[in-house]
Chain A
Amino acid sequence: MDVQRAPRSVDHSLWRTRLGLAADRLRENWAAFVRARVGVIGLAVIIFYALLAAAHPVLMSTVWDESIYDPVVGYSFDETRQPAPPSLRHPLGTDPLGRDILSQLMFSARSEFMLGLLAAVVTVCIGTMVGAAAAYFGGIVDTILMRLADIMIMMPGISVLIVLSALIGVEHLELGLIIGVLSGFGGTGVVLKSQALSVVVKPYIQAARVAGGGPLHIILVHVVPNLLPLSFLYMMFTVTSAIFSEAVLSFLGLLDIRMSWGLMIHTTESAGYLTQVTEAWWLIFPASLSITLLCSSFYLVGRSLDEVVNPRLRRA
């Protein structure tokens, strides 16, 4: 599109040229992404929850009294009985322990994002390195990494986490790491390897080899940047599975964490309100719907990105 940009001074770093090209591509891809429509809905939901998460500390330091609204140790003295239905003071009511549901919901949103980000970053770091190394070196390295990937893919993630939580205390950090490792060495690594295979046969890789570039240099400078768009896509799916696993495990009461959406439902269950769907709806729906919405939003964004990145799925 922008033909005039071609002659650039050579001392411009490779990365700047790449960023320029990436920005062009981004503009084009954004248009395709918007056309896919469902991805935009997902993005809107994600932004909504991000705003909720960001607003929590602000509200806590301004309008919300810490002794009442603290998501873990607060108690609402104004209500005659707990759990209290939604009111002006507590827009989503209180839980069986007298804590404000909205505050819990907003507080948890932040840790869900942190967890998702951690798992996604670990996945991408491992996945790109595994994919690039398997494609670049081939042979025995490839065989070992791909057999390992087979095993990781066959691991039932939730079951592994359930067993691990019985053995060691699992918190957000461990959870993010385990999910990242499972996905990075497993499915994401395999997908990125197939992408990397089409990169390592490019002439510029041969040129870099002839020019005496070391394997690490070539992988980091030439192969990995080409894997980034695809790995970004798989980050979205990792976030989905991280949030989902956290919710399930804390619902089962197997995680050592202070507050999360899953734990909110666990509290509801332990207090015996889980089957009172109409009578105590505010104990069940806000947290459950938040988990579902955020998970499916990340998934939808991932899928829409897939339709943008994968030319075979593009519309004529």
Chain B
Amino acid sequence: MSERSGDAEALGGGRSPGPVLAVEGLTMHYSTRAGVVRAVDGVSFSVGKGQALGLVGESGCGKSSLALTLLKLLPENAQILSGRILLDGMDIVPLPEERMREYRWSRIAMVFQAAMNSLNPVYRVGEQIIEALEVHVESAREESLRRVRELYDLVNLDPSLIMRYPHEYSGGMKQRAVIAMALACEPDVVIADEPTTALDVIVQDHILREMKNVRAELGMSMIYVSHDMAVIAEVSDMVGVMYAGRLVELGSTVDVFRDPIHPYTRALTSAFPSVTGEKHELTVLPGEPPNMIDPPSGCRFHPRCPYATDPCRSETPPIVRRGGHWAACWNPTGEGA
């Protein structure tokens, strides 16, 4: 893991003075009765101001765990074993819970995987946004209400909905409300965990475009987490590909999509049809992500990799750089191979 920590900064922080969020060698494990689950294993990346990073991978590869780790919102059986999470250069890993509370939402906010369920059914939606404001911004109730109205405008929601209950919202409306809630305290970074997975394609498209506009308008950084390559391709500047708790490829979206290095990335990019690009055979990746309690040795992808050779099975793969991105692989594919 240590060999990779330097690369992330070099690549991710290229466009702006210093990264807003930098993650270095982050490792998080769950201890369960069946054994230790290595959910996040030595992950490093960084996000510059105004940048959008997409994290992609099959379900169960540790994306959502990584998202929760960034906010240190972990269940009791989870533990951050090593690594740093630098927010504007300050490490938040050793912060006690009380200090951490101040950072949550005001610095890093989150749009949750199941937006429908992340609104409490017994409170009015507006009250739930005001609640977040009251904790972090000292302001009168009228002030907070005005702010909520602003936010509703920003995400194209009718302000008359503010004092309604979640069950009176449609799926797309709830999603917008949850985004408005995430923006409430003007955070530096917003993490969106599968922000549009449960929505139909048209609403999905609208919301993604709005999120993009909002980001441009407010100049915040975003981390999109999704299993859907199409979504990531549409909204992010940088892409990180995760497999079995590890980051296996990281680079600018254009580079990663045009010329994937890692066979896994290649499999993911060819598993969905490209509308604009050239025609190619759709391939479906065989098998399932590995058991994270006892992951494969060497390169974790080797049991499913068509190019696997002996070193893949026993040794941690080296970093391969090409153009503006890198991957961890013994047998890189594509142009340079």
A residues adjacent to B (C-beta < 8 A): 316
For the complex, is B170 an interface residue (Cβ under 8 Å from A)? no
Contacts of A316 in B (CB 8 A): 32, 75, 77
Cα distance, A11 to B70, chains bound together (Å): 57
Q: Least Cβ distance of A306 to chain B in Å?
A: 19
Q: Which residue of B lies closest to A31 (CB)?
A: B33
CA distance A316 to B32 in the complex (A): 7
Distance (Å) between the CB of A316 and the closest chain B CB? 6
By a CB distance below 8 angstroms, the chain A residues around B32 are: 316
Q: What residue of chain B has the Cβ atom nearest to residue A316's Cβ?
A: B77
CB distance from B52 to the nearest CB of A (A): 33
Q: Tell me the minimal C-beta distance from A27 to chain B in angstroms.
A: 15
Closest 3 CB pairs of A and B: A316-B77, A316-B75, A316-B32
CA distance A316 to B77 in the complex (A): 8
> How far does the Cβ of A251 sit from chain B's closest Cβ, in whole Å?
44
CB distance from B34 to the nearest CB of A (A): 11
Give complex CA distance A316, B78 in Å: 11
B47-87 contact mask (Cβ, 8 Å, vs A): 1 or 0: 00000000000000000000000000001010000000000
A-B contact pairs, 3 of them (CB 8 A): A316-B32, A316-B75, A316-B77
CA distance A316 to B31 in the complex (A): 9
Complex Cα distance, B34 from A316, in Å, reads 10
A316 to B37, CA, bound (A): 12
CB distance from A307 to the nearest CB of B (A): 14
Chain A hits for B77, CB < 8 A: 316
CB distance from A308 to the nearest CB of B (A): 14
Q: How far is the CA of A279 from the CA of B283 in the complex (A)?
A: 87
Chain A hits for B75, CB < 8 A: 316
Closest to B75 in A: A316
Q: From residue B39, how far is it (CB to closest CB) to chain A in Å?
A: 13
Q: How far is the CB of B32 from chain A (nearest CB, A)?
A: 7
Closest to B78 in A: A316
A316 vs B33: C-alpha distance when bound (angstroms): 8
Within the complex, the shortest CB–CB distance from A314 to chain B, in Å, comes to 10
The distance in angstroms between the C-alpha atoms of A316 and B75, with both chains bound, is 10
Encode contact with A along B25-38: 1 for CB under 8 Å, 0 otherwise: 00000001000000
B78 to chain A, nearest CB (A): 10
Query: In whole angstroms, how far apart are the Cα atoms of A44 and B75 in the complex?
Result: 34
B33 to chain A, nearest CB (A): 8
Q: Which residue of B lies closest to A315 (CB)?
A: B33
- Give the Cβ gap from B120 to chain A, nearest Cβ, in Å: 19
Q: How far is the CA of A278 from the CA of B302 in the complex (A)?
A: 77
Give the nearest-CB partner of B76 in chain A. A316
Interfacial residues of chain B within 1-42, with CB under 8 A of chain A in the complex = 32
> How near does chain B come to A280, taking the closest CB pair, in angstroms?
51
Closest to B77 in A: A316
Q: Mark B105-126, 1 if CB is under 8 A from A, else 0.
A: 0000000000000000000000
Question: Which single residue of chain B is at the shortest CB-CB distance from A32?
Answer: B33
Chain A nearest CB, measured from B64 CB (Å): 16
